[in-house]
Each structure stands twice: as structure tokens, then as C-alpha cells.
Amino acid sequence: MVNVTGISAIWQREILTFFREKPRIVSAAINPIFWLVTFGAGLGSTVSIAGINYQQFIFAGIIVQTVLFSSIFYGSYLVWDRRIDLLKAVLVTPLSRRSIFFGKVFSGVTFALIQTVIILAFGFFIGINYTLASLMLVILTVIFAAAALTAVGLTIGSLMTSPEGFQLITTFVIFPLFFLSGALFPLENLPAYLSTLTAVNPVTYIVDVLRGLLIGIQYYGVIENVLIIGGFAFVANLVGIQAFKRMRS
């Protein structure tokens, strides 16, 4: 059974920890803006895609990059909690492991949303035009994406016993997911091998939805995107729950 009160308690603890870590908040705000200002503006001076400024084109990709890194690396806190025996103290409470898992997933989603709002605010300065509907749909997409990717991070964290091991594995997971998602390039006219790799990458569909909502460029159909993102979130959390249940404290 899922304990809503317990989930809320886990969430509140994680949120308080997040806001105590000022360098983490500053880094979360600066990193994506740095990418947009340097990489986006640098190439944007010479490159445009479908008449869209390159900085605007990669804006959706930078949001996804932030959600991807934030959500998956959130699993490292699980490894640290195990190392200092804090997780053991949580696991001996009456809360089920499923409730603890969902409390951490909701925390990861919240962190991703905070960072997304910061990036969306910066979007005004590079000419991104929002509507209330597009903003709400962007937020909804980020919630599903962060839920899936946080579950991936927690799954890896459940299997790792050292922060170094976690960082090594996540590096091999994060960079292919990001660079093969179309975050930095259009999906049209790719070589066959690259087209296949982007098509089997669930993050590709997250980028595609956000890009469609933000600048009106979309490669896949709406139904296809929704089904794949929803399926990814469901499967990732299902696998994550099982890994969390089998995890040694």
C-alpha cells in the first residue's frame, strides 16, 4: 500500500535539504543559461533551422538536458543516504519501500520543475513566445519526463554502493540519452544509423513535444509522443520500485 502521509514526509525532507544547498540552486540556474548564452548564441550567429534562430531551436533541448541531469543525478542522494546509514533509519519505519520510492520520485520531479521554471523565465529574453496553454503543457510534459528519469536515477542508485560507481554508470547513461535525442540538431535527413538511435531513445520524444509546444516544430505525431513518454514513465517507475524493494540497506 502507498502511504500518502509518508510520501509527503519524505518529500518535505528532500525539499528542505534542496533549499539548504545554495550552491546546488545557483548551479541549477546558471548551467542551462550558460549553454544557451554560449553554445546557442555562438552557433546561432551562423546557423538557423527552418527559419528559427538556433538559440530558440535548442531551447527545448536545454530544458530536457536540465531535467535529465537533475533527475538522474538525484539517485546519487540515495547512495549517500545508504553510506551514512540515513536510509536504514528510513527503511525501519512503518513506511513501505514503495511509499519511500514515490516520495523520492515526487522530490525529483519538484527539483526538475523548479529548474524548468527558471529556464522558462529566461526564454523571454531569447524570443520564446508563450501562451497559458503551452506553458501548462510544458509543465505537464516535464512532470512525466522527470518522473521517468528520476526513477531511472533511483534504479541505478539502488544497485550502486558507492558514489563513484553511480557517477560512472550515469555518465554512460546520460550523455547518449542527451546527445542522441535531437536536443541540438533536427531529426530530419539524419544518416540511417543515427535516425535509428534517436528513434529508440525515449528522451527524443520529450524533446520533440517540448519543441513543438515552444516553437511549433515537431517531428513525430502527438499521439506517438504521448504514448511513448507515458509508457516510459510507467515502465521506469515499475522497474524502479522493484529495484528499490530488492535494495540492501
Give residue-wise pLDDT tens across range 205-218: 999 999 999 999 99
Encode pLDDT of 232-241 as tens digits: 999 999 999 9
Alpha-carbon distance of 105 to 100, in angstroms, equals 9
Q: Which residue has the higher pLDDT, 237 or 45?
A: 237
pTM: 0.91
- Which amino acid belongs to residue 42? G
The DSSP output letter for 38 is I
Which of helix, strand or coil describes residue 52? strand
Residue 177 has pLDDT above 90, yes or no: yes
Contacts of 56 (CB under 8 A, 6+ apart): 126, 127, 128, 214, 215
The answer to whether residues 144 and 64 touch, using CB atoms and an 8 Å cutoff, is no
DSSP SS3 for 49: strand
